[in-house]
Amino acid sequence: MMLVDPTPEKKRRRRVLAVQNVKGGVGKTTVAVNLASLLVERYGKKVLLIDADPQCNASLYLLSDERFLAATDSGSVAEKEHGNLWDLFHKDVRYIDLVTGRRHGPRTSFDRHYHVVKRGTGGGLLSLVCGSARLSDIQEMGPELVVSRIRDWLRGSASGDAEVVIIDCPPSIGSLTLSALRAADDILVPMSPDAFALHGLPLLLQKLDQYRTPLRIKCRVAGVLFTLYPPIGAEVRPAADAYASRIEEICRARTPPVAVFAARISRDEAYPQSFERHEPLPFSNDPKLRSLVDELDGVARDLKLVGDAI
């Protein structure tokens, strides 16, 4: 089903959203990919997903193994049609590796650093800047050298005409995450309702305070999104509810308060299965997935990416 975004054309501007939590395995990539797909399929939006994690899970979710290898094979630059995020970071950088003495860069310039992954049924378009395992190089560079790379590229015409940009961050705060935060308007913080959940948020907020001025980072925390939420009736559901209430209290008590979204993402096997099929939930026709896709719709509304209140 296609819904029309009622926002008048002139009020629209590109929104850049970083999905980050220092805690690993909380559903950042799953939310980033499925939220992007929802906006494309249900609202006909042009969405650009940037995979800023050396684990490349967002790229592996969306691309077949062959396309992923073709996008990341550093040995055959001549064969590659599009650059990935590593190429984008290195396109005009020259440096000498002090350990090996090898010269690097500048790399072959690519016309495009994104792939078109999917055209939605109503004119929407999902594009991807593919990740690369070599992005761990960037993590080792001083943030001041690379912090503006994603932002500058997004400001240029070579980044296309996406209305929404979603950046999937690694579970750490190094140069890659900081470049994502420098480019972002908002940060979405996925969090599972469990005993370990709160460790990541204070660290993220502390790092934001530390780097905001020196690295000119202006984004704000849009809110915490509970993910992997056990279904009603599950044995662990009461414990999850108790953790969620506690987390809400702590977020409310912070200065300034951190919002906790009303929308929640249920724990459901459909997510890992969709990863294996390289098919995000919103692109499936299976009616059994409808309630899960509606939860993603709630996230898009809480983020004001769609709806009257943009």
Ligand X SMILES: Nc1ncnc2c1ncn2[C@@H]1O[C@H](COP(=O)(O)OP(=O)(O)OP(=O)(O)O)[C@@H](O)[C@H]1O
Near ligand X by CB under 6 A: residue from 2, 3, 12, 24: 24
Chain residues 144-173 in contact with ligand X, contact rule CB under 6 A: 171
Chain residues 55-94 in contact with ligand X, contact rule CB under 6 A: 55, 57
Is 34 an interacting residue with respect to Mg ion (CB under 5 A)?
Answer: no
Is 257 an interacting residue with respect to ligand X (CB under 6 A)?
Answer: no
Is 28 an interacting residue with respect to Mg ion (CB under 5 A)?
Answer: yes
Q: How many CB atoms lie within 10 A of CB 137?
A: 18
Q: How far is the C-alpha of 269 from the C-alpha of 272, rounded, in Å?
A: 6
Residue 27 binds what, of ligand X, Mg ion, none (CB under 5 to 8 Å, by partner type)? ligand X
Strand, helix or coil for residue 91? coil
Torsion angle, alpha carbons of 115, 174, 221, 217, to 10 = -90
Is 227 an interacting residue with respect to Mg ion (CB under 5 A)?
Answer: no
**CA angle centred on 167, ends 160 and 85, rounded to 5°:** 65
Is 284 an interacting residue with respect to ligand X (CB under 6 A)?
Answer: no
Chain residues 102-141 in contact with ligand X, contact rule CB under 6 A: none
Q: For residues 128 and 306, which CB has a smaller minimum distance to Mg ion in the complex? A: 128
Strand, helix or coil for residue 191? strand
* 216 within 8 A of 183, measured Cβ to Cβ: no
Is 275 an interacting residue with respect to ligand X (CB under 6 A)?
Answer: yes
Residue 175 binds what, of ligand X, Mg ion, none (CB under 5 to 8 Å, by partner type)? none
Residue 62 binds what, of Mg ion, ligand X, none (CB under 5 to 8 Å, by partner type)? none
Burial group, residue 54, by CB count within 10 angstroms (0-12, 13-18, 19+): buried
Which residues does 67 contact at the CB level (< 8 Å), separation at least 6? 115
Residue 30 binds what, of Mg ion, ligand X, none (CB under 5 to 8 Å, by partner type)? ligand X
Smallest gap from Cβ 98 to Mg ion, in A, equals 31
Q: How far is the C-alpha of 213 from the C-alpha of 216, rounded, in Å?
A: 5
Is 271 an interacting residue with respect to ligand X (CB under 6 A)?
Answer: yes
Near Mg ion by CB under 5 A: residue from 20, 34, 57, 159: 57
Near ligand X by CB under 6 A: residue from 2, 3, 12, 25: 25
Q: How far is the C-alpha of 163 from the C-alpha of 168, rounded, in Å?
A: 17
Is 223 an interacting residue with respect to ligand X (CB under 6 A)?
Answer: no
Q: For residues 25 and 106, which CB has a smaller minimum distance to ligand X in the complex? A: 25
Is 29 an interacting residue with respect to Mg ion (CB under 5 A)?
Answer: yes
Smallest gap from Cβ 117 to ligand X, in A, equals 17
> Helix 28-43 to helix 290-302 angle, to the nearest 10 degrees?
90
Q: 86-121: string of b/e by CB count within 10 Å (b at 16+)?
A: bbbbbbeeeeeeeeeeeeeeebeebeebbbebbebe
Residue 284 binds what, of Mg ion, ligand X, none (CB under 5 to 8 Å, by partner type)? none
Smallest gap from Cβ 27 to ligand X, in A, equals 4
Which residues does 231 contact at the CB level (< 8 Å), separation at least 6? 237, 266, 267, 268
Which residues does 308 contact at the CB level (< 8 Å), separation at least 6? 6, 7
Number of chain residues interacting with Mg ion (CB under 5 A): 3
Q: Which of 123, 63, 111 has the alpha carbon at shortest distance from 280? A: 63
Sole window of 6-14, 53-61, 151-159, 178-186 interacting with ligand X (rule: CB under 6 A): 53-61
Binding site for ligand X (CB under 6 A): 24-30, 53, 55, 57, 171, 227-228, 265, 267-268, 271-272, 275
Question: Rule CB under 5 A: which residues touch Mg ion?
Answer: 28-29, 57
